[in-house]
Chain A
Amino acid sequence: MSDELDPVLRRMFAQANTPIEAEPFTTDLVKRLAAQRGLRFGAAALTAILGTVLNGFLNGLKPARLLLVGAAAVTLWVSFL
């Protein structure tokens, strides 16, 4: 059996191809990608902050210092948003 196609159907499929406008599809997709990137970055930053605070706690930092490290980490996170 060859790949030969029915000429009537070929014509119908070719004629059924109507132009599709790029907008608002493209803009919506860009927004969706940006939102996903923000979520992923937020999750990564939160993990990093918790890791930093836990590390400080395990290494015997006093609560005031822990707070200072945590505040520095949050400041760093916010500056990237």
Chain B
Amino acid sequence: MPALGQVAEATVVALAMSGDRAAFTELVRRRQAAVRGLLRRLSRDSALADDLAQLTFIKAWRALPQLRSVAAFGGWLRRLAVNTWLEHRRSNPSGLTTLDEGAPEPIAPRSSVDEALDLDRALLQLSPDERLCVVLAYHEGMSHGEISEATRMPLGTVKSHVKRGAERLRGLLAGYPAPEEQLHVG
């Protein structure tokens, strides 16, 4: 029998659904980066993001037997992460990290290493709902419909948050060139 690391995810999910702890640990190993990456982009606090990611996986372990189909695991886990984030926001409305001191200033472009930091700084200028919708659209590649379903926000609200949030981000990161412009640099 091959090691779990070489087994197709559908099989690992099915094993975990039946209560196999080793299979669930393998799923955590495979999916932790995606879940933690999403929560880090939403919170910008990696310790908080990791704590919420742990909660997400604990909920996943408890609810796995109720998962309808092994193929739905990825989307289901992402929805659990979003729900965990929303619950955290509801229970800590004042503890939310948002930079709202004064008018937002445009962020000057720096090296590619700093680009991720600038993106995170700019994301913090958005309202929590805008940030959530923008991150789910751009970081997770979710459609507006999927975001609406995952966040239980009306579709029109999601569209508006993604559009306005992206416009604000572009304004803040105006110094960063478009992909075509970048090709001609150097």
Q: Tally B residues with Cβ within 8 Å of A.
A: 37
Are B166 and A16 neighbours in the complex by a CB distance under 8 Å? no
Q: How many A-B residue contacts, CB cutoff 8 Å?
A: 80
Q: Which residues of B contact A11 (CB under 8 A)?
A: 179
Q: Which B residues touch A17, using CB under 8 A?
A: 37, 139
Nearest residue in A to B160 (C-beta to C-beta)?
A1
- Flag if A25 contacts B36 (CB, 8 Å): yes
Contacts of B33 in A (CB 8 A): 19-20, 22
Interface of A is mostly: helix
Chain B 162-186 per-residue mask, 1 if CB under 8 angstroms from chain A, else 0: 0100100110010011110000000
Q: Which B residues lie within 8 Å of A33 (CB)?
A: 21, 58, 61
Of the candidates B21, B28, B40, which one forms a contact with A26 in the assembled complex, judged by CB atoms under 8 Å apart?
A: B28
Any A CB within 8 A of the CB of B53: yes
Residues of A within 8 A of B144 (CB): 3
Can you list, as one digit per residue, whether each of B25-60 has a CB less than 8 Å from chain A (1) or not (0)?
100110011001100110000000010011001100
- In the complex, the answer to whether B163 meets A9 with C-beta atoms within 8 Å is no
Q: How far is the CB of B147 from chain A (nearest CB, A)?
A: 10
**A16 touching B116 by the CB < 8 A rule?**
yes
A8 CB contact (under 8 Å) in B61, B163, B170: B170
Instruction: Determine if B58 and A9 form an interchain contact, defined as CB atoms under 8 angstroms apart.
Output: no
How far does the alpha carbon of A22 sit from the alpha carbon of B40 in the complex, in Å? Answer: 15
A10 within 8 A of B: yes
| A5 interface residue (CB < 8 Å to B) | yes
Contacts A9-B138, A12-B173, A13-B139 known; A29 to B28 CB distance under 8 Å?
yes
Q: Which residues of B contact A (CB under 8 A)?
A: 21, 25, 28-29, 32-33, 36-37, 40-41, 50, 53-54, 57-58, 61, 112, 115-116, 119-120, 134, 137-139, 143-144, 159, 163, 166, 169-170, 173, 176-179
14 CB-based A-B contacts, threshold 8 Å: A5-B137, A6-B166, A6-B169, A10-B138, A12-B115, A12-B173, A15-B112, A18-B116, A20-B33, A25-B28, A25-B32, A26-B32, A29-B28, A32-B58
